[in-house]
Amino acid sequence: KQEVTQIPAALSVPEGENLVLNCSFTDSAIYNLQWFRQDPGKGLTSLLLIQSSQREQTSGRLNASLDKSSGRSTLYIAASQPGDSATYLCAVPSTPLVFGKGTRLSVIA
C-alpha cells in the first residue's frame, strides 16, 4: 500500500529565505506527483504536477523535483514571502490519489 510522508509537519522561516519541503513515498511505481497548496478554510490548489518522465517542474518561485528511485520529491520555494504561508501537500496516484498530511509553512515578515 502506497504511503506518503511529509517532514517536517510545520516550518517557520523569516521572509526572504529559500526553503525546501520534503515528500517521500513508499511505492516508486508512480507516473506523476502533485504538489498542492491549502490556505486556511479553503480547498487545495494544484501548484505543480511532475510526470514520471520529468525530473523537475518550475512555476515562478516554485521548483519541484522528483526522484522515483529514491522515493522522494522536494518543493523548493525561492525568496519566501508572507503570502506563501499555507499548508503544502504532495500526492501520488494510487487508486486514485494518496496524500501526505502536509507541511504547514509560516513565513514571518
Interface ranges with other proteins (CB under 8 A): 31-32, 34, 36, 41-46, 49, 51, 89, 91, 93, 96-97, 99-102
Q: Which is nearer to other proteins, 65 or 80 (CB)?
A: 65
CB of residue 98 vs other proteins: minimum separation in angstroms?
A: 9
Helices and strands per DSSP (H, E), number in the chain: 0, 11
Q: Rounded to the nearest whole angstrom, what is the least distance from the CB of residue 15 to other proteins in the complex? A: 27
Strands 72-77 and 62-67: antiparallel
Q: How far is the CB of 89 from other proteins (least distance, A)?
A: 7
Spacing of C-alpha 66 from chain mean position? 10
Those residues with Cβ within 8 angstroms of residue 48's Cβ, 6 or more apart along the chain or in another chain: 34, 35, 57, 58, 59, 62, 64, 75
Q: Which is nearer to other proteins, 39 or 67 (CB)?
A: 39
- Residues forming a β-bridge with 53: none
Closest to other proteins by CB, 55 vs 101, is: 101
